[in-house]
Structure formats: structure tokens, C-alpha cells
Amino acid sequence: DDFTKRRDDFLKTIVDSNVSTQGSVKSAALDSISGTKAEVLVATTSNVTNADGATQDPRSWRLELRVEKAGAAYKVSKVEFVT
């Protein structure tokens, strides 16, 4: 697809711009659980800066995560943005 063709250029642009993102979880809630799988709702905020000190206004995100048991631990197996 188109992204795959431009992947190397995209990666170089990101690395060269020296972008840093800091995120924080504002709240989280267990939506459902069944056996070894759970759906978790998460509200987050991200702050982006680059090497020149330019910053963007904080952005808020709502995510739905699927968490599944993997061996002795639980890991995120799917992330979706919620609108």
C-alpha cells in the first residue's frame, strides 16, 4: 500500500525532527471481562514537543483496549480510538 512505499521516508522525517511525546492517563475503567480477556476504557492526554522547543496544544484521546492473559501476565492485544 501507499504507506509501505513511503515508510522509510516517513521514519527518517520522524527521527530527524526529534519529536518527543509525553502521555498521561487521566482515567480508566473496566468495561467488561470474560475469562482471560477484558475491555478497558482509557482517557489520556498527550503533549508533543520537538528539538526546536516547538510544542503543540495538549491533545485528549479516548481509547478502548483489549487486554488478554499471555502466560503469567496480562498484555494489551488491541487498541482502538473511540470517537
Per-residue pLDDT reduced to its tens digit, 6-38? 889 988 887 888 888 899 999 999 999 999 999
Q: Tell me phi and psi for residue 2, to 5 degrees.
A: -65, -40
Distances (CA, A) of 69 to 27, 30, 36, 76: 22, 15, 5, 9
Grid coordinates of 3? 504507506
Per-residue pLDDT of 38-66, as tens digits, reads: 999 999 999 988 878 778 889 999 999 99
Q: What is the pTM of this model?
A: 0.70
Please state, as a whole number, how many other Cβ atoms lie within 10 Å of the Cβ of residue 8. 9
Query: Are 59 and 44 contacting, i.e. CB atoms less than 8 angstroms apart?
Result: no
